[in-house]
Structures are given as C-alpha cells and as structure tokens.
Amino acid sequence: MDHQQPVNPAGTAGTGGTIVTASDMTSLALSSLKSFTKRHKVISTSYLYGLTTILLIALLGGGTKLTLDQQRNYNRIMSTIDLQAEYSAASSYNAAYANYYHSKGWISCDAHCQHYKKISQRKKADWDAIKAEGNARMSDAKSVAGLFSEVGVGEVTDSFWGYFASGKQFAKRQSMWDAMFMGFRSMGRDEGMAEYMLKMLMQVLINFSMGLIMALIIFIFGLWNIIQTYQSSPLTALFFFVTAACAAFAFVSTYLFALFGAAAGGVYGLAKMAETNGRIEGGAGGRRNIRGGRADRSGGYQQQGAWGDQRNARPHYQ
C-alpha cells in the first residue's frame, strides 16, 4: 500500500523545520525584555529614570539659566583668579624639575642633585598653593551659579562626552588591531570571508561594550568630585549624583542596544537574502529539469531525445 509523505505549507516534504519570521523575533525580544524588567526592577527603574532625564534635558535645555545678579557675581569671582600667576608657577616648576632630572644619576643623587631636588619641591609647593587658591575661588563662583544651573549641567555633560569619546576611540583603535591580527589568523587557517566577517563583527561589538562601560565607570567615579566643587547641600548633591549617573547609564545602554540591534538586523537580513537566493536558484534548477523531460504516470520524468520519445525506437540494424 502506498504511503504519502506529509507536505508542509512551503510545498516540500515534511522536514520538521520551522520558518522564523521577523514578527517571531520581535515577539521573542519583547517577551525577553518583559521578563528582564520583572527580574531586575532596580536596573529597569534606573534606566527609565535616566532616559526621562535625557529627554527633559533635550527638550528644556541644559540647566537653568543664570539671573543677572548670579551672572554678575559669577563673573566677578572668576575674574579674581590669577591665571597668569598659575601659568608662571607651572613653568617654573617644569624648569626646576628638568634641572633635577638631568642632574640625578640612575640610582644616586649627589649634593648637586639634592640642591635641584629641593628647588623642584619648593616650586611644586608654590604651584600647588596657587592652584588651590584658584580652585577655591572657582568653587565659590560655582556655588553662586548652583549645581542645577547651566554651568553645573554643562560641566557634567562636557565631562561625560569627553569620557564617551575616549571610550569610542579605544574601541576603534582596538578593532583596527583586531582586524589586522584576525586577518592574519584567518589566512593561516583558510577561513572563508563570511566566517571572518562574523568574527570581526562580534569583536567590534565586544570592543565597543568594553570601551563604553569603562568610560561610564570612570565618569561616575569622577562625578562626585565635580559635584563637591559646587558646595551644595548633601541631599541636593546626592540627588544630582543619582540623576546624572542614571542618565549616563541610560545613554550608554541605549547606544549599545542600538549597536547590537543594528548588527543583529544586518546579519538577519543577509541570512534572509541568502535563503531567498537559494530558493530562487533551486526553483530555476527544477524548471530546467522539467523542461528537459516528460512526466510518466508514476510522477517521474523520462528524457526525450531530439526526435521525441524514443522508448520504442528500433535500432537501425533490426
């Protein structure tokens, strides 16, 4: 008795395969995000709070504007900082340290060297005193402006963008070296271009993740030093610290999510294109086979010659 094989909707014999569509991947991503949000409520809340802060800064601008009195007092205090004296002290210390460096030996320092060493230490103390006085006056000017003013928010955002740019520069430089060395290894192993590109893509994502996460950590550690210079109350300083840290965390996380999403979407699109091209080539091959043969009752095809069906043709010597 004949048994018929089950046929799937794609028109092929039952293989047990499942076609994954874009809607399936979207549903999977949303369900994973929902599950992560339920398990990690602190991280999710911090991310949403930071994202809201970023949107408010983008819509309302960076910090409150200074009033005329605040602007006048801020400029008056900042003008009292003697930048020329600080520059002269720094130049004197560098010259004294150069004399000390050239007078000392590998592991010893004679009387001549000790003389220059004392001068270098004295110049360093003078420079530190002038810098401390300038920083104190600058802190007084910042206290007039306020932590949530355009001055405070601008200083914090400038600090973040500096660390963020350094993290991206680290990732680009590291990816360049990885591309070179991985290319050498791939040539030695006879790897294909597709395999090399996938490995390189994963390495680029890892480098950007490392660089930006390191930049975020360094920014958060240096954030409290910036906040202390504004002489705010402890509660105000703590609130600003949490807000700025959450905003930085939300921005870095969103950037990495977008980067990984673009990479995954690109790989998925290339895979679908390759699958479509394979189906088109397979269909063209099937049509060529049908065009060159004739179907019999059992569903097969028999080859025809140039003069038609020659199954019953008699040889010329019969």
Residue 295 φ/ψ, nearest 5 degrees: -75, 140
Place of tokens 């983008």: 58
Averages of pLDDT over each 10 residues, the chain, 318 residues = 48 48 64 73 88 87 88 93 93 93 85 90 95 94 92 93 95 88 68 78 92 96 94 93 95 93 83 74 57 49 46 49
> What was the pLDDT predicted at 23?
62
List of residues 6+ apart from 295 with CB closer than 8 A = 301
> What was the pLDDT predicted at 284?
56
> What was the pLDDT predicted at 276?
75
Identify the CA nearest to 289 among candidates 272, 303, 269, 271.
303
Please, what sign has the CA dihedral across residues 224, 228, 234, 235? negative
Q: DSSP character for 294?
A: E
Place of tokens 């549903």: 27
Residue 227 φ/ψ, nearest 5 degrees: -65, -40
d(C-alpha 84, C-alpha 124), whole Å: 16
d(C-alpha 188, C-alpha 297), whole Å: 55
Place of tokens 């994963």: 202
Name the pTM for this structure: 0.71
